[in-house]
Amino acid sequence: MESPEQQEYNEYQFFAFHPYNVLLTLILLGISVLFLSLTAGFVYNRVQNDLPPIRLPWIFLFNTLILLGGSATITGAKRAYRNDDTLRYQQMLWWTVALSLVFLVAQSIGWWQLFRDNVFLQTDNSAAYLYVLSGLHFAHVIAGLPFLGAFIEAARKRMKEPVSVLVYFSDPEKKLKLRLLSLYWHFLDGLWIYLVLFFAGNALLG
């Protein structure tokens, strides 16, 4: 027969129903609906106004590789966490931050390339949708950086002695938050791939 301690509810054993997971799920659903609505609006405006397609600058494709690299490094951080590898865990987190910053810089260059080709926000509705959608994605990447920074700072403070390292790696809340952060990062990567394919497909179809 189980003791009262064994029968006690453990919120971290039920990941799908944990409040943090429910909150992130709602956030991701909301973001998905927002982007799907905007891309549907883009198609409607193009058809109604017979607007010319917009060809994406090459750097938008390059940015896809950068984001995929970020997905790989955040996955590496999760793997290092499971293996109690303190050095690699921190390195992978730093690499994720670095790749995210490279993406932000590269995306700014992408907008500059559009300006150079005389594609401005006020050019037409197609251009406006491109800037709004890529700008919203840009903002969501920025929104994730403080959470990455919080993980790096916590690791820096607590990964100094064997005991504190053991406590850090056995913390179920930390494990859950890292999993949620990685889900958010993978979601942003998938969202960017969707946008690139969407606009590239529209350009090909003319």
Show the DSSP H helices in the chain as ranges.
4-7, 19-49, 58-82, 86-116, 125-158, 162-169, 172-205
The answer to the question of residue 4 being in a domain is no
Assigned domain for 8 exists:
no
Structure tokens at 53: 């397609």
Residue 63 near residue 170 (C-beta atoms within 8 A): no
Q: Is residue 6 part of a domain?
A: no
Averaged pLDDT for residues 174-183:
91
pTM: 0.87
In single-letter form, the type of residue at position 49 comes to N
Find all residues with CB under 8 Å of 119, minimum gap 6, and list them: 54, 127, 130
State the residue for tokens 């494709």. Answer: 61
Question: Residue 36 is which amino acid?
Answer: L
pLDDT at 196 over 60: yes
CATH of the domain at 187: 1.20.120.80
Residue located via tokens 């700014």:
108
Instruction: Indicate whether 9 belongs to any domain.
Output: no
Angle at 86 between CA 84 and CA 92, to 5 degrees: 105
Task: Give which of 157, 148, 137, 135 is closest to 98, Cα–Cα.
Answer: 148
In a domain, 124, yes or no: yes
Q: What is the pLDDT of residues 22-78, one digit of tens each?
A: 899 999 999 999 999 999 999 898 888 887 778 888 999 999 999 999 999 999 999
Mean pLDDT of the chain: 87
pLDDT at 10: 53
Tokens of 149: 């920074």
Is the per-residue pLDDT at 99 higher than 80?
A: yes
Does the residue 36 lie in any domain?
Answer: yes
Please state the domain count of the chain: 1
Top-confidence residue, 6 or 160: 160
Could you tell me if residue 142 is inside a domain? yes
Domain that holds residue 115: 15-205
Q: Does a structural domain hold residue 101?
A: yes
